[in-house]
Each structure stands twice: as structure tokens, then as C-alpha cells.
Amino acid sequence: MRILSATLLLVVFVGLAIFLTFTSSWGAIWTSQVQDTPVAPEEELSPTPTPDWSGKFAVDILQPTVLRAAPAPAAEIVAVLRRGDRVALSGCAADLLWCQTEEGAWLLSYMVGDVPGDLPVLDAPGLTVRDVRDVPTPTPEPSPTPTSEPTPQVSLLQLLPTPTPTPAVVETVALDAANLRAGPGTEFERVGSVRSGETLRLIGQLADGSWYQLENGAWIAAFLVEPPATELPVITIENGE
């Protein structure tokens, strides 16, 4: 009986020794494989480069500005700049109304900050760069000697009342989605709405330029549309209206 117990105890010790030896060897092999596996470094994000404005005619955008494909209010819209953006100009038209960016787009000059005095001038109709100092001074033509004209005959048509001229329509675009009002103020009833970029037909404005009247009689706040290229007639609103 004692011999059997000793034999069983010996078998247990031998099996335990073999188990520990086997597990230690495989653990070392697994550890070495894990340590030898290279870990790919994380990709670093490159910082956004700061634009270099040196040597360029850079100006600041004062309010939301529409960039057009040509110097005309009806030209195609190619982009919209936000207030605080900065853009480089290549030149301005001779009347300083339209300026061209280095990318070839056009914007109204009063939508930006101070235009550099040495900015090249783009001459119509070809819109080519020229020097203002080379512009010849026009020679005034002598006025012709006035000749006496016969007294015009008054016809019956001249005595009829003159029809009221149709107000001129100036097209512009909405800078953002906006409501249309029955009068120049938010207290007036809402009569419609427009989408951002939609073409508007204006016929007049308040004396302070804060509201524009559309061709259909509705009103829209001036800061919601691109300023028209030409001056609009002033519309007087009575107190009771």
C-alpha cells in the first residue's frame, strides 16, 4: 500500500513538472512574438497653411459678398464670401465699381475695405490692365454756333396729360432666406418669402436705404440682399400707411 501511494505521488510530481515546463516555454515564445510585432506610428495631421498675402493687393470683406463670373449684376454667381474673409484683387474697373479677384471672379468694390491706390485699372470693354497715367486727356470739341429755330407748333397730343413713367427695375440677389413684408418694417404683415441666391427685382428704397421695395409691391430688409449696382428712387411712406 505504501509503495502504491509513493508511486502515485511520484507520478503527480512528474506531471506537474512537465506541465510547468511546457507552459513556460510557450509563454516565452508568445511574449517574444508580441514584443517583436512593430506598431505603426499614428499619422500626424499637417496644420492648415496660412495664406501668404505679401506682395498681393489683399482686402477685407465687410459684409456677405457675391462673386460673379463677369462685372454685371445679372452675371452667373460663382461663390459667396462671408464677412471677415480676405481676398486678393488683380485690378478694378476704371469707374471703381467692379473689382476682379486673382481667381478671375468679380465683386462690387464697396463690399470690401479700402481699395489699394496702386491697384491696376481694368478698362472696358476688353477689361485689360492699363495705367491711369497713360490715359489721354480728352480735348473738348468747340460748341457749334446756335442757330435760331422756328417757333414749334403745339399739337393736340402735347396738351394731353403725360402718362406716369414705369419705375425702372434693378435686379439683385438675396444673400439669405428672408421674409417679404407688406411694408418697410417687421411689424407689417408677412406676404411671402425668398430663397438664398434668388433673383429679386427692385423698384425703390426708403430714404435711409434700410428697406427695398420689390416690383410686386412687397418689401425686404436691405441687409438681406446684395446692394444694387445702381441707385434706386426713394419711396416716401405716409405715417398712416
Domain boundaries, given as residue ranges, for the chain: 57-134, 167-241
- Cβ burial of 112 (10 Å; 0-12, 13-18, 19+) is buried
**Look-up: residue for cell 502515485?**
8
pLDDT number for residue 11: 75
pLDDT number for residue 65: 87
Three-class DSSP category at 31: helix
- Long-range contacts made by residues 126-132, C-beta under 8 angstroms, separation at least 24? 127/71, 127/93, 127/100, 129/91
pLDDT number for residue 97: 82
CATH number of 57-134: 2.30.30.40
Name the residue among 156, 157, 207 with its Cα closest to residue 184.
207
**Under 8 Å between Cβ of 101 and 70:** no
Q: Do domains 57-134 and 167-241 have the same CATH topology?
A: yes
pLDDT number for residue 95: 75
Beta strand 77-81 with 106-108: parallel, antiparallel or unpaired?
unpaired
Mean pLDDT by 10 residues, the chain (241 residues): 73 69 52 50 58 80 87 87 86 82 86 78 56 47 64 52 65 91 92 92 91 93 90 80 53
Q: Which residues have C-beta within 8 Å of that of residue 200, sequence separation ≥ 6?
A: 171, 172, 173, 174, 194, 212, 214, 220, 225
**Under 8 Å between Cβ of 54 and 29:** no
Number of helices and strands in the chain (H, E): 2, 14
pLDDT number for residue 129: 47
**Look-up: residue for cell 457749334?**
144
CATH number of 167-241: 2.30.30.40
